[in-house]
Amino acid sequence: MMSPSYSATSSEEYLLRPVAVYCGACLGTEPAYEYAAASLGRALSVHGRPLVYGGGSRGMMGTVSGAVLQHGGSVTAVIPTAILVAGGEGGTTERYIELEGQGREKIELVVVESMHERKVEMARRVCGFVGLPGGYGTLEEIMEVTTWTQLGIHSKPVVLVNVLGFFDPLRALIKNAIASGFIPARNERLIIFVDAPPGANPMTFNWGAAALAALDCWSSPGPGYFTWKPSAPNGDSTAEFS
């Protein structure tokens, strides 16, 4: 089994480290999605929390990274070679990688060889993960880093910005998996859902501040399933039960 070769951060390092954000390469159908992405980017910058993300400059990815840059924050983009050469994510009719755009020369660009390397590189650089609305890629990334905490590869929070109930079906699926005996009840806490208060306007609520507060308040539900040993020369890792 392949596994990332990095360890969990100490509490002293935690508040100083960057945050990975997973989100869509398009804006979706609701203006509140874009507003939440901008709110998160602004909060990251104001609180001195660098952004690590997948490198797009349009859609939700462009909105959150643009907001960080606009407010003087730091951004690192991690992009596989194939996606960079092809012009970005989102298919062949639209281009999403525009690091030459105004202000984007400040982005630190990290080019990797595969999608797996991208996920490992992003994860090892950050203290936690925030998910905004997105598609298959966003959902896959959220679930993989959550699984890594369950397995004990790392111990880091995952926060989902639940704009207009976007992630409600995922929350229901997790609860159903717990009720069906596939997820331990304690591991429901591996993912934190950030909801707006009842009656709050999703176009004015401070999603970014709420997401960072959730990151900072997170505590691990317990040790992961395994204790991971260093990778072997062939890249494989072995594990023992914790």
Give Cβ neighbours of residue 177 (< 8 Å, ≥ 6 apart): 183
| pLDDT bucket at 98, cuts 50 / 70 / 90 | very low
| pLDDT bucket at 163, cuts 50 / 70 / 90 | very high
CB crowding 132-170: b at 16 or more within 10 Å, else e: bbbeeebeebbeebbebbbbbbbbbbbbbbbbeebbeeb
The neighbour count for residue 113, using CB atoms within 10 Å, is 10
% of the chain residues with pLDDT over 70: 81
Whether pLDDT at 90 is above 70: no
Q: Whose CA is closest to 53, among 136, 128, 140, 122?
A: 122
Q: Whose CA is closest to 224, among 149, 146, 174?
A: 149
Is 79 within 8 Å of 55 (Cβ atoms)?
A: yes
Whether pLDDT at 242 is above 50: no
Distance of CA 76 to the CA centre of its chain: 13
Digit-coded pLDDT (tens) for 108-125: 999 999 999 999 999 999
91 backbone φψ class: left, alpha, beta (φ>0; ψ -120 to 50):
left
Cα distances (angstroms) measured from residue 173 to each of 120, 179, 182, 190, 205? 26, 10, 11, 14, 26
More confident residue, 211 or 92: 211
- Tell me phi and psi for residue 46, to 5 degrees: -60, -35
Q: State the Cα–Cα distance between residues 51 and 76, nearest whole angstrom.
A: 6
